[in-house]
Structure 1
Amino acid sequence: MPATYKNCLLIDDNYIDNFVTRRILESSNFVEAIAVRQSATEAIDALRDGSVKPDVIFLDLRMPLMNGFEFLNEFDKIDFDGKEAIKIFMLSSSLDPTDVKRSTENKYVVQFIHKPLTHKILEELGT
């Protein structure tokens, strides 16, 4: 069975969260390739220079320097082919209803997912 997505960009400042999320994504055959950036600024740079061309992005909300919402603002300013087709999933441990509401109101965010990512969640996303 082919993977649901070809290229994934995982943006999270927490090494352990990245390790766990990456393992779940790999073992579920959700994506073929995973690029990890430990800051939103690194991710924006990679998108700008074209070194990362994701079909799907898993974006942490709470990060130093640039948070998930600030990433979305910068993402909106970048112009590149295929941008509108990218699915962004906000992946956060935040329980703040304002964060959930703000995420789901963003035109790029498909869904807010509470950490940790699980096989069950990915199965639901793939359908």
Structure 2
Amino acid sequence: MYSGYKTCLLIDDNYIDNFVTRRILESSNFAQNIVVKQSATEAIEEIRDGSIKPDVIFLDLRMPLMNGFEFLQEYEKLDGHDKDGTKIFMLSSSLDPVDVKRSGQNKYITQFIHKPLTQKILEELSA
């Protein structure tokens, strides 16, 4: 399954989650390039300076320094990035209904996905 994405950005502070998610993305040929960042702050800086141009982002919610919602606040301020052409999936282990609701209300979030990401979920996203 190749979804046609050029660059997928995975933002999660958990090394193990990144390793597993990256393997799933790679094995399904989800995108030509998969970039992994363990810091939302670093990710937003690299999007801002143009060194990463993702067309799909998997964003963790609970991270130190800058959480997923804080990332989205900074993302909204970006100039020169095709925000309308970028899909953002909130990928989180949070079971808090407030987090799910808040994600659903954010105009940049395409979908809230409960961890772990699976092959089946990827197939549904690409359908």
TM exceeding 0.5:
yes
The separation in 1 between residues aligned to 2:47 and 2:12, in whole angstroms, is 15
SS class of match (1:53): coil
Written as runs of structure 1 = structure 2, the 5 A alignment for 1:8-87 is 8-87=8-87
Q: Is the 8 A contact 2:18 2:36 kept in 1?
A: yes
Written as runs of structure 1 = structure 2, the 5 A alignment for 1:106-121 is 106-121=106-121
Please, what is the CA RMSD of the aligned residues?
1.0
The separation in 1 between residues aligned to 2:62 and 2:20, in whole angstroms, is 17
SS class of match (2:23): helix
Aligned residues: 127
Which segments of 5 or more consecutive residues in structure 2 lack a partner in the other structure? none
With normalisation by structure 1, the TM-score equals 0.97
Give the deviation of 1:82 after TM superposition.
1.8
Q: Is the 8 A contact 1:4 1:31 kept in 2?
A: yes
Q: Is the 8 A contact 1:4 1:29 kept in 2?
A: no
The separation in 2 between residues aligned to 1:66 and 1:2, in whole angstroms, is 31
Q: Is the 8 A contact 1:90 1:103 kept in 2?
A: yes
The separation in 2 between residues aligned to 1:81 and 1:65, in whole angstroms, is 23
Partner deviation per Cα, 1:65-106 (whole Å, 9 max, x = no partner): 000000000000011142211000000000000000000110
The separation in 2 between residues aligned to 1:77 and 1:41, in whole angstroms, is 14
SS class of match (1:35): strand
Q: Is the 8 A contact 1:58 1:89 kept in 2?
A: yes
Q: Aligned residues: percent identity?
A: 76
Give the deviation of 1:18 after TM superposition.
0.3
With normalisation by structure 2, the TM-score equals 0.97
